[in-house]
Amino acid sequence: MERTMWKPIRRMFCEKAGAEAALEVRLVYPADFLPDQPPRVVGRRCSLGMDCNHLEAPGCMWAGTLPGFDPFRIN
């Protein structure tokens, strides 16, 4: 049976939330009888996404409130 888990892949200080944030991906690992398959990424989220949704100003694309702003983008 496959298993899923949220795994942090990057951390940074979020100026909008005023705290350390982690970008997490949801990985689906294959069932035991398909061991050679790599895990699939099926979702992405920010660890502070719920907190950002309570702010008066828009957050970022990871919080789902500001699609054009990605604080995790590498310049």
Tens of pLDDT, residues 12-51: 888 777 889 898 889 998 887 767 888 888 888 888 888 7
Residue 17 lies in a domain: yes
Residue 48 lies in a domain: yes
Residue 48 token pair: 């502070």
pLDDT at 50: 80
pTM beyond 0.85, yes or no? no
2-15 confidence digits (pLDDT tens): 789 999 988 988 87
Q: What is the CA radius of gyration of the chain?
A: 15
Q: Where in the sequence is the domain holding 20, given as residue range(s)?
A: 3-52
60 touches 70 (CB < 8 A): yes
Residue 7 lies in a domain: yes
Counting the structural domains of the chain, the total is 1
Residue 29 lies in a domain: yes
User: Among 41, 33, 47, 23, which residue's Cα sits nearest to residue 1?
Assistant: 33
Residue 57 lies in a domain: no
